[in-house]
Every structure is written in C-alpha cells, then in structure tokens.
Chains A and B, each alone.
Chain A
Amino acid sequence: MKSSTSLGSLWDTWGITAILVLLLAVAPVLTPDFFSLDNAQSVLRESAYLGIVAAGMTFAVASGAFDLSVGGQLALCSVVSLIGFAAGGTVLAIVAALATGLACGLLNASLITRLSVPPFVATLGTLFVFRGLSYILTQDGPKTLPYDQIGSPFVKIGGLNVAGVPVPFVIMVGVFAAAWLLLRRTATGRRVLAYGSSPEAARFCGISANRLRLFVFALVGVSVGIATLTYITRVWTADGSAQDGFELKVIAAVVLGGTSLKGGKATLIGTFSAVLLISVLNDMLVSEGVPSAYQRIVLGGVLIVALTIDGLRTRFAAPGSLRRALSGGRTPQPGPAR
C-alpha cells in the first residue's frame, strides 16, 4: 500500500506555496524595490478582495460546482454599498454590501435547488443579471466615495494599516482562518467535501444536496459582500463594468491553489498562496511597466497552466469528470429513460 503522505498529496497542498516562495525569492532581483514597505503593503492590499472571494469559491469548487456570477455580484455589492454610504454612512454601507452579497447568493442557490438549473448555467445567467442591475443603478454616472468623507471609518478600511499590515489583508487572513475551520473542523465542511467527491454516495450518507448547495452559494455571496468592503474603499468608484472578468480570476486562483475542479478535494492554504502569487505577479508586471493588455495574457497563461495541472492530476479519474464539473455534479442519464 502507498503511504498516505505521498509526494502527490504534498504537492497538492504545498506545491503552489513552494512556487510562491520561489517567486518571492527572485522578485527583488527583477524589481529592486519589491520589498519596500510601500510596495509590499500595496501587494497585500490588492490581493484582499480576490482572496476573500477565492476563499468562498473554494467551497463551491470543492462541492463540484462553481459560481460564475461573482464578478457581477462584486459590481452590484459595490454600487449598492456606495448608495448605502451616501444615504446612511459607514454602518449602512457595510450592511448594504453584506446583505446584497447574501441576497445574490440566495438567488443563485434557489435557481439551482428549486428550478434544478445546473450551477454553471444559473450563475452564468445571474452574472449578466447582476451586472445589468449595476448598470441600471449607475445610469447617471458611476457611484463614488466623496473626497470630503475621507475621515469616515468606512473609507478608511481600504487605506488603514495595523502595525504596518494593511487592514484589507488582515480581514482576508481572518476570512481564511474562519474558512479553514469551517472546511476542516465542522460537519458542514466535511459534507461539502463528501458531496463533491461523490454526490450519489453522499446522498446515502444522509447529506441533502439542496441544503448543501444553498449553503455553498450563500457562502460565496457573503464572501463577495465582505470582499466589497475592501475593494470599494480602495478603488472608491464603481459601476456595472467593475472588475470585468473577475469570476475567472477567482476560479483561476482556486484551481491554481490545488483544489480540484472535479470536486472532493480542497486546499485553502493553496488558494491563499495562489492569490498572493497572482498579486505578486501582477505587481511585478506593473512595476516593470508591462502594458495591461500583456498582464491579461499572463493571467490567461497562468489559468491554462493551472487547468493543465488539474487535468494531469485527474487524468486517471473517471471519464466525464469535466462534464460532471460543468453540470455541477449531476451525472447525465445514459440512454433513454427506462
């Protein structure tokens, strides 16, 4: 029998972290002021909103599905949060962001569980719906944080440091810690993994597919709500086009981290490292003066590499695993109904 701590499982959890460490080692050579306080803070601050959503998305991918609507959710949460801030200050802005995220997640969940729409299709649809709503709410121009409110606690979230560490990064670390506990130390987290590993077997372990999906998609929504707090207080403005293509960046980070698109296997440590890797890579490209069009190409390359690694990892898995991932764990009925 093979040892359970084989090289393969070590790579699954720590591979991407090793690559991140390598990248950090060569970063100062390419970018001399990489480890300057300013630059380091900027990288960490920039990684927060991607990381927080990626933590939530890790659960969706672990359950064998993914949420394509997070880009639309982020735009809508941002716009609603800015409207909330204009109407009622810090508290309303925070409540608006979290409530909008939760509402988006619950809408996705009910489409998937009540109407039996596959997650891929349901969230592709709501991606357009959420972006459309954001555009409607910003018809008379993008919503912005007014400069005269710079002293407000809400506006400070994005720029403040605690002992030199940016607050958004602190929030992200907190979210990952909570997510790790949820995944590894609660019955719900275990059920997510069980369901992602084999939906049919999970059913006979007393795991309700609908309850589980409701939880997972609501969780993704809430993670977007939290991410909005760090995002909008950094960019100060939002409309329907905010963070175009965000959903693929998030899924790229999750898969790059080592969570299998097939479901059943997840690593939050990997997701965390992959998010930092993407942020560091971005920062290096920016400081080298690489035009943003090329940055997109690099992200695309990273995504392909990530999916190739996932493909190699699951090459020996059952055929149809990709189709299963796309349809969110439902195995299609073979042949005519009998």
Chain B
Amino acid sequence: MADSSTPALLRVDGLTVEFPGVRALDGVHFDVAAGEVHALVGENGAGKSTLLKVLGGLHQPSAGTIGLAERPYRPRRPADATHAGIAVIYQEFNLYPDLTVAENVFSGREPFHRFHRGIRYAEINRRAAELFATLGVRIDPTAPVSSLTVSEQQLVEIAKALSVGGRIIVMDEPTAALSADEVTRLLDVVRRLRAEGRSVVYVSHRLDEVFAVADRVTVLRDGRHVRTTALADTSPDELVRLMVGRDVSAMFHRDDVAGGDVVLELDQVSAGRQLRDVSIVVRAGEIVGIGGVAGAGQPELSQVIFGALPVKSGRMLLSGADYRPKGPDDAMKAGIGFLHEDRKAAGILPDLSVRHNLTVSVLDKVRGLFGRLLSPAGELGVFDTFRKRLAIRTTGPDQLIGQLSGGNQQKVLFGRALAPGGRLLILNEPTRGVDIGAKVEIHHLINEITADGAGVVMISSDLPELLGISDRVYVLAAGRIVGHLTGDDRTEENVMRCATTGQRVFSATVSG
C-alpha cells in the first residue's frame, strides 16, 4: 500500500521543537502516504504528543519543515490544520457535552435557514447520520454527547474530522479508555477510512493494535527518530527493543536491603473504573515498583491502598490484619504515607508555609497545652527533624512552599508522607518534575527509608528509575497485574512487553 514509489502526502523533515530547558523533538523526520495507516510508537516522553501538536497547530517548531501534498505546511493555530485537511483527535476530546451529536459534528459550520436564521437541524442530523453510516456505526445524531460512551464520543470526533474533509486523521491513543469490543470496532473504522483513501496517523502504546491495523510504523525515542519500517518487516520484540534501547544509567543505586515481614497484602482487589483482581505483596524494607503505560490504573491502585478510593471487592491486609480504611485519615493513623503524582494540583498547599505543609499529616500528634491546642514548639520540632533528615533547603519554617524549588517541595511532601510513622509509603512519580540533582537525592532517600524498615510502593513511568531502584516490579495493563518481575527479569524489554502487548510475564521465584 505504501512503498517508496508512492509520493508522500505529508512529509516532516528535521523537525525540532524546544521548550524552556527541554528539546522535545530533535530533528525528527516522518512521512505519511495517501491511503496509509502509519503508527507512531515510543515510550512516555518520546515526543509523540509533541509531534501531533505541531501537526495540529498547537506548537510551533523551532526548526524543520513540513510539506503537505508538495506544498509547505506551517500551521499557526488549530484552524489552519483543519483548513489543510488535517484532523487531530487528542486524548482529551474537544466536544461540548451538552450539545447534540450533530451539533458537535458541525459546530462552528452549521448551515442556517435562509429566513428565520435558525440552524437547519434536519440537514445536520441527516448529514451526521450519513457520516456514521460510512463509518459503519450507529449513533443517534440528536443524542446529547454527554449521554455517549467514551468510544462513541471518539466516533463523534472522527465524524467531525470527516465532515471537514479531513485527508489525514491523527489519533492520539484512541483506545486508551476502550473495552476490547470497542477496540475491535474502532480498528474496523480505521480500516474503512483507509479504504476510502484517507490517511491515518495512529499513536498507540499497544503494539497488538499497531500490528493489527497499521501499514508502517515509526519509532521515536527521547525526541529522536529511531526507525521507520513496514510492519511486515518487523516484530513486536524488535519494536520494544527500539522503543527502549538505551543504557540503564548507572546513576540508579539500590542498597541491598533484606526484605522483612509482609507489611501490605492485596488479595484480588477491584476498585474504581478499571482496577480488577489485583493481588500484590509488599514486605518491610522492600521497594516494590509498579510499572505500565499511562492510564493502566496506577493512580487507582495507589489510592485504594491509601483509602482514598473504596474497595469494590477483594481484601487488604496490613501486617497480617484486616485493613479497611474508610478514608486517607485511617491510612495515616496506620502509619501509611502518600505522595500524589500531581504535586502542584494535589500535593502542595500553596498558601501554607513549609512547616505547616509538612505537619498537616500529624496534627493530632503535635498537641501540647490542654491536649487540644496545637503546640508551635512541637510542630517546629517535627519540621526540624525532617528538614535535617531530608536536607530541605529553605530560608525558614515560615517560608511559603511555593517559593521552594520543585525538588525541595517534593522533599517537604516526603516529610509529610513519612511523619505519620513510616510503616508504608506509597510514592507516585517521586521524581517527576525535579532536577537531576534532587532526583539522585530522592532516590537515596527512598533507600534510607527502607533501611529504616518501611515498605515502599513506587509507581513510576520513568522506566530506568522503576527498574533501577525497585527490588521487584509489578506491571499493570488495563487495570490488571500482567507481570511480576524479579531479579534478572527486571528489564525494560520485559516491562514494555507486558505493558504494551498484554503478554504475561511472571518470574518464577519471589526474591526478597
């Protein structure tokens, strides 16, 4: 379908995109032929989303050229992309939930009645129904979008793309939130689009889908182009190697710590929208990593342990005893600390001082006079203890937390998580958004915490980090545990294979 003799419809050359301090794309080349499904794969942070946003007119490149049908294409705003026939469907949909399906499809381009100037509803409803018919799906054009499932909303986005005469349809992780049946249906739609002569750029973590639907694949890694090849000439294993292909940096250091008694046990726990039948074990003094692609249920897993999400079925044990937290306060009373993955939105208390940010998890333990009132001296004592232990750099206990660097904010939040007792720590993306120096310090710190006997559950999308400091790694995919890697099985290839192909890998023995 797409061989070298076909002239490329879209051609990207030497594309570089720079953000302050980061080069998100570095001289990337990429091309799409007419009537081709071209998959784009890579790890989190490889630059796929950035490339999409350039095509969609959201980011402007600092260097490089894009040609569309032999003419230069320089989108400055999303409308430019639409006019050029490029429709990008982002993971976050651009739909108005309270308007109908047809109103959304034709939003901004509604045909108006000649006399009373109203929208010609009969026409847009008919045309929307025709679009869905070409996609081979049935969706009521008069239904409000909020009543649709995620997969139906996705189809509305696709219909919208078709209605503006999209020649190239770009889909960013279109199956991330779909069930198996819905995925099959979506792949059918993609094939229909190709049969009509349209091109599809298909971004996905799931290699099985890529092999099922795509003609060619381009692998990106760390913002660079690695390889473009026909799917027929490659294998899932090779793609995984190409996606990962880098040395696990020597900067990751893990002390040898002997695992102790079991601190936490999850037995067939289901919770939230997608977490199903998860069983894990965490021992004292152990760092247990949780890996997987984004959206596989990591936040749900961490929140169910912390009592922030109710258990639907299954049970949890803390040091062998039944553990049924009604809320995070119960978890904290049991000595469990929690670090949220979104430091800015759900971590720091921006109006409070560093001291108060730290002691908020132990307010019941810093009471002085009369047993009811907080003791300022007690709070200061707690803060000083952790400032020394975590080497928090601050001008003083009353400095506002927002004035600290990302790494120091993170250390304050570590203090908050440790203060309730340090029996078990749940760390979500512990080094996200901190500089390299702070990252090393934080890794060192996690080592120390386990040396003091705490169990650590670490969720990280940073593979080298996950493998570099975890003793054991569980891999999550679509809310289920699909891998348990110990010892020499802890490789990036194994994690990516479990996470992206759904292949199950379980190490034979559980090492401490």
> A residues near B, CB below 8 A?
1-5, 181, 185-187, 190-191, 193-194, 196-198, 200-208, 260, 263-265, 334-338
Most chain B C-beta atoms within 10 Å of own C-beta, residue among A5, A205, A334? A205
Of B331, B351, B363, B403, which is within 8 A of A187 by CB?
A: B363
Neighbouring A residues of B367 by C-beta, 8 Å: 187
Q: For window 366-400 of chain B, which residues contact chain A by CB distance below 8 Å?
A: 367, 372-374, 376, 394-396, 398-400
Contacts known (A204-B306, A208-B329); A198 close to B349, Cβ less than 8 A:
yes
Contacts known (A3-B395, A185-B374, A204-B308); A190 close to B97, Cβ less than 8 A:
no
Q: Is B100 an interface residue (CB 8 A)?
A: no
B348 touches A198 (CB 8 A): yes
Neighbouring B residues of A191 by C-beta, 8 Å: 360, 363
Q: Is B340 an interface residue (CB 8 A)?
A: yes
B350 touches A264 (CB 8 A): yes
Neighbouring B residues of A264 by C-beta, 8 Å: 349-352
Known: A4-B399, A200-B345. 16 other contacts (CB 8 A): A1-B395, A1-B404, A2-B403, A4-B396, A185-B373, A186-B372, A186-B374, A187-B374, A197-B352, A206-B329, A207-B329, A260-B351, A264-B351, A334-B92, A335-B97, A337-B97
A200 touches B346 (CB 8 A): yes
A263 CA to B351 CA, complexed, in Å: 9
Q: Is B338 an interface residue (CB 8 A)?
A: yes
B145 touches A336 (CB 8 A): yes
A194 touches B352 (CB 8 A): yes
A273 CA to B220 CA, complexed, in Å: 62
Contact with A along B144-160 (1 / 0, CB 8 A): 01101010010000000
A207 CA to B346 CA, complexed, in Å: 13
A193 touches B351 (CB 8 A): yes
Chain A residue at minimal CB-CB distance from B356: A190
Q: How many residues of B contact A (CB 8 A)?
A: 48
Neighbouring B residues of A200 by C-beta, 8 Å: 345-346
Chain B residue at minimal CB-CB distance from A5: B398
Of A5, A197, A335, A337, which is within 8 A of B349 by CB?
A: A197
Neighbouring A residues of B338 by C-beta, 8 Å: 204
Q: For window 398-440 of chain B, which residues contact chain A by CB distance below 8 Å?
A: 398-400, 403-404, 416
A205 touches B348 (CB 8 A): no
CB distance from A11 to the nearest CB of B (A): 15
B346 touches A198 (CB 8 A): yes
Most chain B C-beta atoms within 10 Å of own C-beta, residue among A181, A187, A201, A264? A201
B347 touches A201 (CB 8 A): yes
Of A2, A4, A186, A205, which is within 8 A of B361 by CB?
A: A205
Neighbouring A residues of B332 by C-beta, 8 Å: 206
Contact with A along B47-83 (1 / 0, CB 8 A): 0000000000000000000000000000000000000
CB distance from B273 to the nearest CB of A (A): 9
A204 CA to B376 CA, complexed, in Å: 23
Q: Is B177 an interface residue (CB 8 A)?
A: yes
Neighbouring B residues of A3 by C-beta, 8 Å: 395
A201 touches B346 (CB 8 A): yes
A74 CA to B394 CA, complexed, in Å: 46
A194 touches B374 (CB 8 A): no
A202 CA to B363 CA, complexed, in Å: 13
Please give me the 3 A-B residue pairs with the lowest Cβ-Cβ distance, nearest first. A264-B351, A206-B329, A187-B363
A203 touches B328 (CB 8 A): yes
CB distance from A313 to the nearest CB of B (A): 11
A205 touches B327 (CB 8 A): no
A181 touches B327 (CB 8 A): no
B351 touches A197 (CB 8 A): yes
A335 touches B93 (CB 8 A): yes
Q: Is B41 an interface residue (CB 8 A)?
A: no
Contacts known (A4-B398, A205-B328, A206-B329); A335 close to B95, Cβ less than 8 A:
yes
